[in-house]
């Protein structure tokens, strides 16, 4: 006998499962009990509608081979869950429904922090559905796509959590059978959650799958699974090995044009060694990956515990290995450049008003459009700092586009007379200098929100940007309908960005007035939080005074709108620099990035957090993302250089910081961090030269004076060091000087008792600089490795 393919008519041997020509799976000869034809819901499941008289639709999360998935509110239990509507063609066989029901009974027994809970299988009007725990976060496939190759430490942490979840399921006799990066969620706290246990097996009976459908996903299948043989937990180990390969290399080991071609590769081809695509992968880690992917399942790790143990051993050696050969790593490591199909710079609008008094309004209009566009994933929007750096400069628009590395630029003008506005907007193609779109708006002032929406959506339409679920709603979301409140917010933002004491004072006044106009203006509250964070970090106000105010304003903002990226970013900043709560900070910053994935500042905040937790490779990556989004910002580029200092890559830091000084030679921060880089190379005279420049350019800010005095002391110039430290003590009588300044005064001079007292004060006051100093790589700046110092830091939450 022979099997003729129903799709291409190719004749195959009778025991063949898949067509040898096109890869189609053969239907079974088993009789299928068919129920009556079921139609999909005729009424579209849009936001606010109800399904099964119980589940109120919030948004569609996606669709796949089984059907559509929605985020819904279970109005009976008053909680959000995920609702998966199963395609009618899958449920025509009653045997499948019974399998679903039986498998879900077992899957519901899996109660583990790394496994998404399955709830129930239901049916309404002929439509079968599954309810499960809703996990707020991002699937691993998307995370890899967005990030490129993951840092080794990150990939291992994710794989270890997946091992723990799999181990729990395997103990209960549940094998996933369709483990892939799409089925692994990273939640807001950075925890792994494995999805869809109990579903793949339900489709395993012969005759259930039609042409083109198969159990599992070809790219992640074990050899025995691809052959249609019985599978066990070692098949899941194989799939996890592929996921680990994918995380670290940014690619899959086996790909092909048909299902059969991929299945054959799993069976007979040796996977390319992962270090071929990522030189950061050690030999030990490579062996772990390849053992997971052994063709013979008896050669693989036999269970999740074995694999977890192997990964833990590799993880222990990471920090030691990176410290042993930092220069080699620096040579091999390559930046993963994100390829942008669409990119834009929004320039500040020109003020054509008769009185020339609308600069803040013109800047604010452009900034609002930038803020909206940064919410679109995979759309590069140059940050405000870089886009505004060309303000009032007579430079050809095409030259600006080339300098910012974008393919389109939006420019415009505003003329305001009384309550009337005339706004001109033009979208220009950098390649040829021609207009893609232009429009004139003659409106009343209260129409300003509608104009912003029109301009933003026109850009999206003309550039053919594909919006993902929920993105359009976020683009045109308004936080106030009060034009006066909006106007005051623009003024407050304008003054805040001056980063001066007078600017901060005016910003607070404007934002508080905005709240008088609209007490529910979430952006005004988050704006005030941002001002107080900046005052605590860059001003001369004790952190115990400024940060609690910032936190109170953040809470009010989130009470009004818990999706506000600016508020989550501010809270992440507070948790990082004041509370020293790394887990909470990461949760907030990741949520902020979900709402505004192309915000340079949020990527920078996240980079700081990663530095504090000594995840230096990831910190460098995030800083580079910030650079890409804000390429001519001296501030962003400076802190990108700093990430290399903490990773002990001093030559790379010097290269980046010198480049930054070409953007703005009079900016004190690059000089300050250059001094630290030279300290790392033991080039004390060069360090003093840069520290002196930083002190003079910054108006002798206390924190800048400290390393200059300390370096004088290390060079034997003790009189000069004492003079500087004494001047700081004098200043502390009438202005705030961070306690860590005096901690280092006594540490460098060898007075450990006094140093301890100042460190204790820094802990009590939550000195913003204590987080940085805890991990400073320069040897003689290390906090003493003594019991009382360790105990103090542990009490403060650092150890």
pLDDT in tens, 516-571: 999 999 999 999 999 999 888 876 788 999 999 999 999 999 999 888 888 999 99
Residue ranges in 196-342 assigned as alpha helix (H)? 223-226, 233-249, 259-268, 283-292, 304-316, 318-324, 326-332
CA 27, distance to chain mean position in Å, is 44
- Confirm if 534 and 500 have CB atoms less than 8 A apart: no
446-460, 594-608, 631-645: range with lowest mean pLDDT: 446-460
**Residue 669 contacts residue 604 (beta carbons within 8 Å):** no
The structure tokens listed for 380 are: 């590069």
Q: Which CATH architecture has domain 479-597?
A: Alpha Horseshoe (1.25)
Decide: 175 and 201 in contact? Cβ < 8 Å: yes
Q: Sorting pLDDT into bands at 50, 70 and 90, what band is 495?
A: confident
Would you state the pLDDT for residue 118?
83
With bands split at pLDDT 50, 70 and 90, how would you rate the model's confidence at 209? Answer: very low
Longest dimension (CA), the chain: 99
Per-residue pLDDT of 693-741, as tens digits, reads: 999 988 778 888 899 999 999 899 999 999 999 999 999 898 889 999 9
- Give me the helix-helix angle, 702-714 and 739-749, nearest 10°: 0
Second CATH level (architecture) for the domain 343-478: 3-Layer(aba) Sandwich (3.40)
The average confidence (pLDDT) of the chain is 81
Q: Residues, the chain, total?
A: 799
Residues 6+ apart with CB under 8 A from 608: 576, 577, 619, 639
C-beta separation of 239 from 179 below 8 A = yes
Looking at residue 520, its pLDDT comes to 92
pLDDT of residue 311: 94
pLDDT of residue 550: 95
- What confidence score (pLDDT) does residue 328 get? 24
SS3 of the chain: helix, strand, coil, percent, to 5: 50, 15, 35
pLDDT at 26: 54
pTM of the model: 0.54
- Which tens digit of pLDDT belongs to each residue from 432-491? 788 888 888 888 877 777 777 777 777 777 776 655 555 555 555 667 778 788 888 878
Of 41-50, 63-72, 242-251, 680-689, minimum mean pLDDT range: 41-50
Distance between CA atoms of residues 141 and 153, nearest Å: 17
- pLDDT-derived band at 243, boundaries 50, 70, 90: very high
Alpha-carbon gap, residue 124 to 212, rounded angstroms:
28
Q: What is the pLDDT of residues 368-420, one digit of tens each?
A: 888 777 777 678 888 877 888 888 777 888 888 888 888 888 888 888 887 88
**What's the CATH class of domain 138-324?**
mainly alpha
- Most confident stretch, 101-115, 266-280, 439-453: 266-280
Angle between helices 582-595 and 565-574 (to 10 degrees): 160
Predicted local confidence at residue 39, as pLDDT: 42
Is residue 192 within 8 Å of 185, Cβ to Cβ? yes
If we measure between CA atoms, which residue out of 132, 147, 252, 239 comes closest to residue 193? 132
pLDDT at 43 over 90: no
Locate tokens 């994100």: which residue? Answer: 338
Nearest 5°: the CA angle 410, 414, 415 is: 160
**Residue 486: per-residue pLDDT:** 81
**From residue 354, how far is each of 418, 419, 702 by CA, in Å?**
10, 13, 45
Q: Where are the beta strands (DSSP E) in 95-181?
A: 118-124, 127-133, 137-139
Closest CA to 588 of 533, 521, 509, 635: 533
Check residue 150 and give its pLDDT: 86
Q: Which residue has the higher pLDDT, 56 or 98?
A: 56
Supply 338's token pair.
Answer: 């994100």
- Report pLDDT digits (tens) over 323-337: 332 222 332 333 334
| Model pLDDT for residues 341-382, shown as the tens digit of each residue | 778 888 988 888 877 887 878 887 888 888 777 777 678 888
For residues 286 and 257, the model is more confident at 286
Which helix H or strand E contains 424, and what residues bound it?
A: strand 420-429
Pairing type for strands 408-417 and 350-351 reads parallel
**Percentage of the residues of the chain whose pLDDT score is greater than 90:** 30
Specify the pLDDT at position 214.
Answer: 44
Which of 69-73, 178-182, 441-445 bottoms out in mean pLDDT, i.e. has the lowest?
441-445
CA angle 519, 523, 525 (to 5 degrees): 60
Query: Per-residue DSSP letters for 327-370?
Result: HHHHHH----PPPPSSEEEEPPPEE--TT---HHHHHHHHHHHH
CB 18 within 8 A of CB 260: yes
Enumerate the domain spans of the chain: 50-133, 138-324, 343-478, 479-597
The CATH T-level fold of domain 50-133 is Phosphorylase Kinase; domain 1 (3.30.200)
Helix axes 522-538, 543-560, angle to 10 degrees: 160
Tell me which DSSP letter residue 93 carries. Answer: B
State the pLDDT at residue 12: 60
pLDDT tens digit string along 606-618?
999 999 888 888 8
């Amino acid at each position: 006998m022979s099997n003729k393919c129903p799709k291409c008519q190719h004749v195959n041997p009778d025991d063949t499962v898949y067509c040898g020509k096109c890869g189609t799976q053969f239907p079974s000869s088993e009789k299928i009990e068919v129920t009556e034809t079921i139609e999909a819901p005729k009424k579209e499941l849009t936001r606010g509608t109800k399904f099964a008289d119980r589940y109120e639709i919030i948004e569609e999360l996606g669709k796949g081979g089984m059907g559509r998935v929605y985020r819904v509110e279970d109005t009976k239990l008053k909680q959000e869950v995920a609702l998966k509507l199963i395609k009618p063609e899958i449920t025509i066989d009653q045997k499948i429904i019974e399998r679903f029901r039986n498998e879900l009974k077992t899957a519901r027994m899996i109660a583990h922090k790394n496994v998404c809970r399955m709830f129930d299988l239901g049916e309404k009007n002929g439509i079968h559905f599954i309810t499960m725990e809703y996990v707020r976060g991002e699937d691993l496939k998307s995370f890899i796509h967005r990030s490129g190759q993951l840092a080794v430490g990150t990939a291992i942490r994710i794989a270890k959590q997946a091992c723990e979840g799999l181990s729990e399921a395997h103990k209960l006799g549940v094998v996933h059978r369709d483990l892939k990066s799409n089925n692994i969620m990273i939640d807001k706290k950075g925890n792994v959650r494995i999805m869809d246990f109990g579903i793949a097996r339900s489709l395993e009976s012969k005759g259930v799958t039609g042409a083109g459908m198969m159990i599992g996903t070809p790219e992640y299948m074990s050899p025995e699974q691809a052959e249609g043989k019985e599978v066990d937990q070692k098949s899941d180990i194989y799939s996890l090995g592929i996921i680990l390969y994918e995380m670290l290399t940014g690619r899959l080991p086996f790909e092909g044009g048909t299902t059969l071609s991929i299945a054959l590769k799993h069976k007979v081809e040796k996977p390319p060694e992962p270090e071929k695509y990522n030189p950061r992968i050690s030999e030990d880690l490579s062996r772990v990956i390849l053992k997971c992917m052994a063709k013979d399942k008896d050669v693989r790790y036999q269970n999740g515990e074995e694999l977890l143990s192997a990964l833990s051993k590799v993880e222990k050696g990471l920090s030691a290995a990176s410290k042993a050969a930092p220069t080699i790593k620096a040579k091999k490591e390559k930046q993963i450049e994100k390829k942008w199909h669409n990119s834009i710079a929004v320039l500040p609008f020109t003020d054509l008003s008769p009185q020339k008094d609308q600069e803040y309004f013109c800047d604010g209009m452009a900034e609002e459009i930038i803020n909206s566009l940064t919410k679109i994933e995979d759309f590069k929007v140059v940050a405000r700092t870089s886009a505004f750096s060309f303000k009032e400069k007579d430079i050809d628009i095409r030259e600006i586009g080339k300098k910012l590395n974008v393919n389109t630029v939006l420019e415009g003008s505003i003329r305001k007379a009384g309550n009337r506005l005339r706004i001109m907007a033009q979208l220009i193609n950098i390649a040829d200098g021609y207009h893609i779109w232009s429009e004139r708006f003659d409106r009343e002032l209260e129409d300003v929100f509608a104009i912003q929406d029109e301009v933003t959506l026109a850009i999206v339409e003309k550039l053919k940007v594909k919006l993902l679920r929920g993105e359009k709603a976020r683009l045109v979301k308004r936080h106030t309908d009060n034009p006066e409140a909006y106007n005051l917010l623009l003024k407050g933002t304008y003054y805040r960005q001056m980063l001066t004491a007078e600017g901060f004072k005016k910003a607070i006044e404007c934002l508080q007035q905005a709240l008088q106009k609209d007490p529910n203006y979430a952006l005004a509250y988050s704006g005030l939080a941002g001002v107080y964070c900046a005052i605590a970090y860059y001003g001369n106000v004790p952190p115990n005074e400024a940060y609690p105010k910032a936190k109170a304003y953040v809470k009010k903002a989130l009470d009004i709108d818990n999706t506000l990226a600016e508020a989550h970013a501010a809270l992440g900043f507070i948790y990082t620099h004041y509370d020293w709560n790394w887990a909470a900070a990461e949760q907030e910053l990741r949520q902020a990035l979900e709402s505004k994935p192309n915000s340079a500042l949020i990527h920078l905040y996240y980079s700081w957090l990663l530095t504090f937790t000594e995840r230096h490779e990831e910190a460098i990556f995030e800083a580079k993302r910030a650079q890409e989004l804000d390429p001519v910002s001296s501030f962003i580029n400076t802190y990108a250089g700093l990430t290399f200092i903490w990773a002990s890559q001093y030559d790379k830091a010097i290269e980046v910081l010198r480049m930054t000084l070409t953007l703005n030679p009079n900016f004190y921060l690059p000089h300050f961090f250059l001094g630290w880089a030279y300290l790392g190379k033991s080039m004390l005279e060069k360090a003093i030269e840069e520290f002196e420049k930083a002190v003079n350019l910054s108006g002798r800010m206390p924190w800048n004076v400290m390393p200059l005095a300390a370096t004088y002391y290390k060079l034997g110039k003790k009189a000069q060091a004492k003079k500087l430290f004494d001047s700081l003590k004098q200043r502390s009588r009438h202005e705030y000087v961070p306690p860590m300044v005096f901690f280092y005064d006594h540490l460098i001079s060898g007075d450990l008792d006094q140093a301890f007292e100042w460190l204790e004060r820094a802990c009590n006051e939550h000195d913003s600089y204590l987080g940085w100093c805890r991990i400073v790589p320069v040897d003689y700046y290390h906090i003493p490795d003594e019991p009382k110092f360790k105990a103090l830091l542990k009490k403060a939450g650092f150890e």
